[in-house]
Amino acid sequence: MKLLEERIEQDGRVIGTELLKVDNFLNHQVDPALMEAMGQEFARLFKDEKIDRVLTVESSGIAPAVFTALALNVPMVFARKKQSLTLTDDNYVADVYSFTKQETNHIIVDKRFIQAGERILLIDDFLANGQAVQGMLEIAKAAQAEVVGAGIVIEKTFQKGRALLNEQGLRVESLARIKAFENGKVIFAEA
């Protein structure tokens, strides 16, 4: 998505060889007009799918997910994160391991907010190692819902996430695909 790539080039800051800081339009300050355009683009990409619900993980997935849900005219649910939890029967829970932080967190969705047989679109801000999407897949499976695909704002193609998800036959659509960071510059993958 050209608008997003331009914004990344303009406002993104490369940290080392693996991280992109985009906190002035996505991860801290949020640009609503850009989020709206991204939501419309995800809706266009998945227009041939029947979708009942959009699922993301707090906090940075929420802005793109809510605009996607608006464009699709369906509800959006975000999984909550907790370090530790009191397990109850009312929630679906999945482990999400962060390679970056070397810790396992849980993501949690109330059972009322995903129904068996529903068709779910997953949205997230970054695809790195794919652990957040993997956790959402586990929750959808536990709910006996069907995942139609994952919409990712920024994919880093040099990390393991894409391969992990493709192995499971998941359709992944990314609005920007970054193949490397070189000398503080973003190198986009060919479309």
Instruction: Pick the closest to residue 165 from 125, 138, 118, 133 (CA basis).
Output: 133
Report the C-alpha gap between 165 and 54 in whole angstroms: 18
Measured from the CB atom, the residue of 72 and 107 that comes closer to Na ion is 107
131 binds, among Na ion, ligand G4P, none (CB under 5 to 8 A by kind): ligand G4P
Q: Is 27 annotated as a binding residue?
A: yes
Q: Return the residue of 41, 118, 125, 155 that touches Na ion, per CB under 5 A.
A: 125
- Taking CA atoms, 34 is separated from 6, 29, 38, 39, in Å, by 11, 12, 6, 9
Q: List the interface residues with ligand G4P, window 79-118 (CB under 6 A).
A: 98-100
Binding partner of 127, given ligand G4P, Na ion, none, CB within 5-8 angstroms per partner class: ligand G4P
Could you say which of ligand G4P, Na ion, none residue 63 binds, taking C-beta under 5 to 8 angstroms by partner kind?
Answer: none
Residues between 112 and 171 with contacts to ligand G4P, criterion CB under 6 A: 125-132, 161
Using CB atoms within 10 Å of the CB of residue 116, give its burial: 0 to 12 exposed, 13 to 18 middle, 19+ buried.
Answer: exposed
Written as six digits, the tokens of 59 are 């906090």
Q: Does residue 129 have a known ligand-binding role?
A: yes
* 6, 9, 17, 21: residue in contact with ligand G4P (rule CB under 6 A): 21
Q: Which C-beta is closer to Na ion: that of 125 or that of 155?
A: 125
Q: Residue 190 and residue 98: Cα distance in Å, rounded? A: 28
Binding region for Na ion (CB under 5 A) out of 12-20, 60-68, 71-79, 98-106: 60-68
Six token digits for residue 117: 């047989």
In sequence order, the 6+-apart residues with CB closer than 8 A to the CB of 180 are 17, 158, 187
Minimum distance from CB of 11 to Na ion (Å)?
A: 16
Give contact residues for ligand G4P (rule: CB under 6 A). 19-22, 27, 57, 59-61, 98-100, 125-132, 161
